[in-house]
Amino acid sequence: MRRGVFRSLGLVLGLVLGSGAHILAAQERIPPATVVYLVRHAEKVDDSADPDLSAAGRARAAELARVLNEAGITAVFSSEFTRTRRTADPLATARGLTVEIYDPRDPAATVHTLRSRGGRILVVGHSNTVPGLVLALGGGPVSAITDSEYDRLYIVVLTEGQVTTTLLRYGAPSP
């Protein structure tokens, strides 16, 4: 009787352990997600060609760094403008990263770079480029960003065959 119980117990244990190994093997085949965080630059001091950030913009950039500091950001991208670089700098500095420049006029090249890089990436752009990048990544829905709107934080998660988009707000609410 005992021999039969132990044999049955061994069979059940073997099935459970075997299926667990199968599940682990299946999990190993799933590629890690690429997560792209996209924001418009923070508030600027004026409407000149290449303005710096205002005090409110510096506070928003610091808040972005605080919000994303533990998100595991592995790369930070910004357009070449001062306001975008200054928005990206606090997080890049906190993470020990260098801000990499991308061309907002070439979304296809940017998407290729982001997908190739993988990981968790912050992209700082402009009101007229962030929605287009979200769409180019396969995300959405998006709407136009108004001139006074600085608090959108899009999170686009790219996995094999699926894209999900989440819109959050951060920092002081935009008017």
161: left (phi over 0), alpha (psi -120 to 50) or beta: left
Task: Indicate the helix (H) or strand (E) that contains 55.
Answer: helix 55-68
Q: Where are the beta strands (DSSP E) in the chain?
A: 34-40, 75-78, 99-101, 120-125, 152-159, 162-169
pLDDT-based confidence at 9, cuts 50/70/90?
very low
Task: With a cut of 70, say whether residue 7 has pLDDT above it.
Answer: no
| Range in 26-40, 50-64, 97-111 the model is least confident about | 26-40
Indicate the average pLDDT of the chain: 87
39-70 pLDDT tens trace: 999 999 999 999 999 999 999 999 999 999 99
CA distance 163 to 154: 13
CB atoms within 10 A of CB 30: 9
112-162 pLDDT tens trace: 999 999 999 999 999 999 999 999 999 999 999 999 999 999 999 999 889
Q: DSSP per residue over 12-41, as a string?
A: HHHHHHHHHHHHHHHHHHSPPPEEEEEEE-
> Which phi and psi (to 5°) does residue 120 adopt?
-120, 120
Tokens 């021999």 correspond to: 3
Q: CB within 8 A of 134, min separation 6: which ones? A: 38, 140, 142, 154, 156, 165
Task: With a cut of 60, say whether residue 3 has pLDDT above it.
Answer: no
CA distance 52 to 43: 9
